[in-house]
Amino acid sequence: MKYRKATFNDINDIANLVTDLLGTCNIKSDSSILESNIEEITKDINHYYVCTINDKIVGACGISDILKQDRFNLGLKNIREILYLVVDKKYQGKGIGTQLLKLCSNYNKEDIIYEAWGDNKEYVNSKFILEKCGYKMIKDLGKDYYRKQNYCDKCVNREKECYECMAQIWVKFKIETTSKI
């Protein structure tokens, strides 16, 4: 396994992983799900890390530039957001997602939010990775948030016709630095 910063050559591979595992979060686009993901990832490709095995991308994670807007009304300023965290199903459970999330969020000088979702009845899918990486769940958006926001048509589970999906906001609070006099 090798971890590295993503390049423009990685965009299609990352977008395919996201499309296969998540669907898309870009519900405002009229493009296909894959085209929408390519568009979104291209904007922030310099903020992505990938994991490769035998030169094949098996995982990716990105983090946004500093955002001024707190769309979840958490009282946070100058935040960053985890864009996507995906690991090929064949390689899940091997620590790849944890390492990618650490690469994106360790040594953070801003608070980082992660909009976690889950079709598991008990917890969001990324709960254990988030806890390992120092994130805390601070807002439960409920089990019908995504349906109310019209995400379902762009979700990887769109064929299931599910009626509930957990949505939570997790935060890794910034690391306070102190200066010595």
Residue 56: count of CB within 10 angstroms of its CB: 11
Tens digit of each residue's pLDDT (9 = 90 or more) over 133-152: 999 999 887 776 555 665 55
The answer to whether 95 and 52 are in contact (CB under 8 A) is no
Nearest residue to 83 via CA among 110, 44, 117, 127: 44
Q: Write the single-letter amino acid at 156.
A: V
- In this prediction, residues 116-128 reach a mean pLDDT of 76
The answer to whether 180 and 114 are in contact (CB under 8 A) is no
Whether pLDDT at 124 is above 60: yes
Highest mean pLDDT: which range of 30-39, 82-91, 169-178:
82-91
What is the value of pTM for the model shown?
0.83
Tens digit of each residue's pLDDT (9 = 90 or more) over 90-121: 999 999 999 999 999 988 889 999 888 776 66
Six token digits for residue 125? 């899918």
Q: Write the single-letter amino acid at 132.
A: K
Predicted local distance difference test score (pLDDT) of residue 119: 67
Predicted local distance difference test score (pLDDT) of residue 28: 58
Whether pLDDT at 181 is above 60: no
Nearest residue to 116 via CA among 94, 101, 102, 103: 101
